Copies of this chain bind each other. A is one copy, B any other.
Amino acid sequence: MVLCVRARAKYELESASYLWLMVEPAMQGAAHRVAQASVVTNPTVASEYRQDLYGNTVRLFVLPQGQFTFEFNAQVQVEPNTGVPPGAFEHSPQELPTDASIYTLPSRYCQSDLLARMAIDEFGGLPPGGGRVRAIAAWVRQHVEYRYGTTDAMTSAYDTATERIGVCRDFAHLVIAFYRGLGIPARYISGYALGLEPPDFHGYAQVYLGCAWHNLDATCADERPALIPIAEGRDAADVAVATLWCRSNMVEQSVEVWCNT
């Protein structure tokens, strides 16, 4: 399937500043390939790339004071999203590769140390494996209400476990914290999804089972038909779409994803 992606934003900067932008998927991922892509900015400014510790590509800008807009366009070839196989097995700690081990530890928004007892209490009795992982996502979908505008950048899994309301980011943080609480590596993915209502940047989880990473989007019962990852990290703190080093105001932002057929 070929998807078209367009992401736009306009910022008002109170002073000259730096911008880190993470809206561009890797050219080649496990389940996607970028056919063509472009970033246009106004004013036109030079940019350079850098890789972060997780292997994500960040685009760096030096911006003047005033308005700044960017528009990212891409055509991406995507394989259908398959979700977590119910039979995929959980690993013992000893078997985990290095880049999965790190994702068993607590992080800013996924305080798995605080949530481990709840995870064990609620899900410790289920048979390990993909079935349990899916059951946990179903639990979150059933017990947490999805409602736009109810949470903010400070809301964490610890809050959502009790407050039971939030958006995609909160759903992802909560399942990730539960998985880590059970020793299952889980990471946060920022990306694009087909069929979001309203359209926006998306956040979902990936879990490491059966020697592979699998997509887990706790916000929908069926699998999203297609997911395109932009960046991965321990939680949303690692994969912010835009980081600015000055007082600024986001005037507008829009994301569109559609099927090119």
Contacts and interface: CB of A to CB of B under 8 A. Distances in A.
Interface centre among A93, A105, A113, A114 (most CB of B within 10 A): A105
A102 B52 CA distance: 7
Interface string A107-130: 110010111011001000000000
A94 interface: yes
Given A165-B117, A245-B183, A98 B237 contact: no
Chain A at the B interface: SS class = mixed
Interface string A88-99: 000011100011
Nearest to A61: B94
B115 A162 contact: yes
Contact of A101 (B50, B99, B245): B50
Kindly report how many copies of this chain are found in the complex they form together.
4
A261 interface: no
Contacts of A10: none
Interface stretch (A153-161, A198-206, A216-224, A249-257): A153-161
Contact of A153 (B113, B121, B162): B113
Interface residues of A, number: 43
28 contacts: A18-B92, A18-B94, A20-B93, A50-B98, A51-B98, A52-B101, A52-B102, A53-B98, A53-B101, A53-B102, A58-B101, A60-B94, A102-B238, A105-B237, A105-B238, A106-B108, A107-B237, A108-B113, A113-B237, A114-B154, A114-B162, A114-B163, A115-B162, A117-B145, A117-B162, A121-B164, A158-B162, A162-B162
